[in-house]
Structure 1
Amino acid sequence: MSRRQEFLTEVRYNDFLAYSDETKEFWANNTFESDTPEQEASLRVTHFKNVALKKLFISYTAGLEITSLVPLLEELITHYENRQKKLSLSENIVDISPLAIDDWLDEYEERIQVISLCILLRRTDLLKRFVELFDKAGYNGQDALYEDLLCKVLPDREDIYDWYHEVYTPLLQAIYADEKDEASDLLAEYCKEWYPAFKKAPWHDSHLQGDEGSYVGYWAFEAGAIAFLYGIDDSKIDHMVYPKDLVEYARNYQLRSENE
């Protein structure tokens, strides 16, 4: 295991892989406690979405080849689509958002992380499918970071000057900085402030729980996506949460595509 963050041990990684297999077998023959069949179905798909998300994150943290992450991302997007369908039936709300992005910072971050992974892994097809879930729920044209991530990849996005959560201010400022050095400094500042900003997230400090905890990695994938999309110099950024090799992968992929 050529881990990308020092907190991950082989024991924790192997235990998670075993759990991800075992939970499929267990819930094939058991049901979640619920009041209605629709609620049970919603709880079920949410559980498997969470497992798929953690598997993608821990695989990157463990040091797997970047190309091996793509099938995991494909599976994850399908889980979000399933969650949206089942949640819509359970809550009786058509086109409900699969994540409560305006109310919960960690769920907003989850959305931005998945968007950024689609961008950095160069899977625009998956990005379109994922974004459609939120656009249909009415979240297009509401948040600056969401639109700034998408406008370089998808057509007809909106120019917005408001955003839901203050933690993303340095990242947004990096996009519009007048000087290249200023943009780099703001990107570095965002990476430095990222982990403390999520102290209320359920995964915060999970590395302190040891091998039997829930740690799968701490990654500001959105910082990498912004650096890639807007050509920000990240050569001096050496922060643990910054996915530098993913950004390099995206840049190299783009160069190859342009030269073909």
Structure 2
Amino acid sequence: MPEVVWGDGLVAGLNRNINLKQKKHMGLLDRFFGSGSNKEKKKIRAQFKNEKYFKKEIKRCDEWMNNDKEDFEKYIKKHGKLMDIHYVNACKIRLQKIENMYSVGESPVKLKDSYKEVLDYFLKGYSENYKDNLLALEIVSFCKLLNFNQKELNKIIDFINKWENNSKIKDIYKPCSLLYYLLDKEVIKRKSYKPIEELYQITQQPKSEAEISIKKYLDNWYSMHKDEPWYNSHLRDSGYSGYWAWEVAAVVKVKGLDDTGFKDNPYYPYDMVHWEDKK
């Protein structure tokens, strides 16, 4: 019957149009709410800035890093070799990139791959003028948090030993007690930058007491660093890579503390401590 054939065709055509509209509608919903079949969207970890900002910062770091090779070659050609400050600055810009990667939501696994170059430049940056405890502390903290092997840690220990035995710098500029604690070496006690010294004192407390102290320490962590060049950097157009207490996270991991009471603190990089928990 022609009418039936025509009617079936029309119905089929209408159904196809409805299905296409439904698929289009579902596609729009997926864009807004996500889909189980798509990759999980990264969660921005840092405060104050969005994904666009951190990606721009990562690109800025990449451009700086790409210029390193050419600049270094020119300097070596003119002066014969690089200065220690070249290596230290190369280390710092790569470290800044990693901080931005963490802030934008990248996996610590990906950070570990990028960190190898950071460590390499840091180790090459030693000189008799070296006295930066904050940089060394961040380097060691990342090594502990990313589970680098003892071979890599031994390279840092060699660096620390040379620094410790350097008679040309004052005692206050030598490796801080917290560095020795994190590296599981015999601690040389000395006065240092107040926030570092205070954190070291917490490491000497029993676990239950240290967990309470760490919570209070994190509550004041940002204000304790008001003299640092990165303080309030989120108010600038560039240069902010997140505010993260890497050294606190390293202490929590090394000492085996329960971080339940402060895991949501905005300065505590929780994922860096627990990224291997699900393995």
* Residue type of the alignment partner of 1:22: E
C-alpha separation in 1, matches of 2:261 and 2:54: 30
Does 1:56 pair with 2:82?
Answer: no
Query: Unmatched 5+ residue regions in structure 1?
Result: 89-95, 102-107, 152-156
Which letter does structure 2 place at the counterpart of 1:177?
Q
Name the counterpart of 1:92. none
Rounded Cα–Cα distance in structure 1 between residues aligned with 2:203 and 2:67 = 46
- Give the corresponding residue for 1:100: 131
Gaps of 5+ in 2: 1-41, 167-173
User: Relative to 1, partners in 2 of residues 1:144 and 1:38: Cα closer, same or farther, differing over 3 Å?
Assistant: same
CA contact (8 A) 2:137 2:179 kept: yes
Matched, 1:240 2:271: no
Q: What is the TM-score with the length of structure 1 in the denominator?
A: 0.76
CA deviation string 1:181-209 (max 9, x = no partner) = x2111111221222112222111111011
Query: Residue type matched to 1:146 in 2?
Result: L
Give, in whole Å, the separation in 1 of the partners of 2:232 and 2:80: 34
Whole-angstrom CA distance in 2 between matches of 1:138 and 1:17: 34
Instruction: Give the aligned CA root-mean-square deviation in angstroms.
Output: 2.9
Q: Find the counterpart in structure 2 of residue 193 from structure 1.
A: 220
1:170 Cα deviation (Å)? Answer: 3.8
Identify if the C-alpha distance between structure 1 residues 82 and 161 changes in structure 2 by more than 3 Å, giving closer, same or farther: closer
Q: What is the CA distance between 1:173 and its match in structure 2?
A: 3.1
Greater CA drift, 131-140 or 227-236:
131-140
* Correspondence for 1:91: none
1:81 CA displacement: 2.3
1:164 aligns with 2:176: no
Identity of aligned residues (%): 23
**Distance between the aligned counterparts of 2:71 and 2:254, measured in 1?**
45
2:183 aligns with 150
Among 192, 202, 207, the residue aligned to 2:229: 202
Aligned length: 227
Distance in 1, Cα, partners of 2:65 & 2:248: 33
- Which whole-Å CA distance do the structure 1 matches of 2:68 and 2:255 have between them? 44
Report the counterpart of residue 116 of structure 1 in structure 2: 141
* Deviation, structure 1 residue 145: 1.1
Q: In 2, distance between residues paired with 1:25 and 1:61?
A: 22
Which residue is 1:23 aligned to?
A: 64
Contact 2:202 2:213 in 1 (8 A): yes
